[in-house]
Structure 1
């Protein structure tokens, strides 16, 4: 059975375009894959710092040994803690998936269908594993650094009386309002959020803020 190329595209929030890297990945694959190669895409808007990613889990479930998981950058695959990354990597390895990332040149060897197993190939495989670990660690550090700077900025703004909290876009507000209408029709909060393209946490914050306003403004 020919291996399938499984492209994973991710963005952290619904306000971001998760398909942004699709063109770059497609152009990259053109240099390695035959036109007849089977390519599947998995797209989702969810934090890379959590293991709870439906599309990534579906990608893994769909995969067969020898299939290739392609990402634009390693941080699209993981911003996980060391413990969670170890768990995800073990699952990927047990499935028989091979990871290829545009920002990790040593991983491109996997797509070179003509390469033979040799001492050089074996060495590159070990080097690739090491670099993958380094990039995964760097992605997590970048995530933690940004969270820390954000928290510091919020604390400073609070001290200066300038903090107003995260402002929702009009698109998000409309999606939350539509989700509330679906809830009134009997849909669960989780299903209403998914049906309207927003995260459950976003909907819960909207409900909380709305209730708070009703209490303080009445």
Structure 2
């Protein structure tokens, strides 16, 4: 089965140019190049999605640089793992990574270990921070928008025939908050 190289390029803003990446991908032998103009943090990348659907077993996804593909190291590792499961290789031109070689496979596994280590550290720091906050008497989550006093006032104003918009305006809360409170009271009454 012949190996087909498929490229993916991405820039963050419309005033940035894709030329450097697309030229390098074509020079590397890519027969087709998909490209997005979207921030790396963005979750919607239609051309990447289309590229991943297009790839077939034996193909190789090629990027100019690792950061063009994944939102984070763990996201990058997830994409490359999915490719491997489908029998699709991965190359990064600038980073010298090629999962179609044994050295590239080793590098991929080392990167995976770092991604797992990073996830574990983040989880440990989050848990330690939550524990410290609890010890200081702080609770996590959003502050309660409807205190018992505000709830009583919502009920009173609605009983006087005021609509949700005027109740929300008078109490300085959102209309959706008024509706959520009323719905919760209805559910409690049932």
Consecutive unaligned residues of structure 1, counting only runs of 5 or more, are 111-120, 138-218
Aligned residues: 116
Which has the larger Rg? 2
| Residue 45, structure 1, aligned to residue 37, structure 2 | yes
**Residues 70-149 of structure 1: pairs in structure 2 closer than 5 A:** 70-80=62-72, 82=74, 84-107=75-98, 110=100, 122=102, 124-130=103-109, 132-133=111-112
- CA offset at residue 61 of structure 1? 0.4
Mapped contact 1:7–1:42 kept (Cα < 8 A): yes
Shift of 1:48: 2.0
Please, what TM-score do these two structures have when normalized by structure 1? 0.45
- The question of whether the paired residues in 1 share the 8 Å contact of 2:69 and 2:76 is answered with no
Query: Residue 19 of structure 2 aligns to a residue in which SS?
Result: coil
SS in 2 for 1:92: helix
Q: 1:19 and 1:135 mapped to 2: Cα distance?
A: 32
Spell out, residue by residue over 1:78-118, the C-alpha distance to the aligned partner (whole angstroms, 9 max, x if none): 23263x344433332333221101123241x73xxxxxxxx
Which runs of 5 or more structure 2 residues have no equivalent in the other structure? 117-190
- The C-alpha deviation readout for 1:59-84, integer Å capped at 9, x for no partner, is 110111110111111111123263x3
Supply the distance in 2 between the matched residues of 1:134 and 1:22 (Cα, whole angstroms): 30
Q: 1:21 maps to which residue?
A: 21
Q: Against the structure 1 CA distance between its residues 134 and 51, is the aligned structure 2 distance closer, same or farther, given a 3 Å change threshold?
A: farther
Map of 2:2 onto structure 1: 2
- Tell me by how many angstroms 1:15 deviates: 2.0
SS state at 2:39 partner? coil
Kindly tell me: are residues 126 and 20 of structure 1, through their superposed partners in 2, closer, same or farther at Cα, counting changes over 3 Å?
Answer: closer
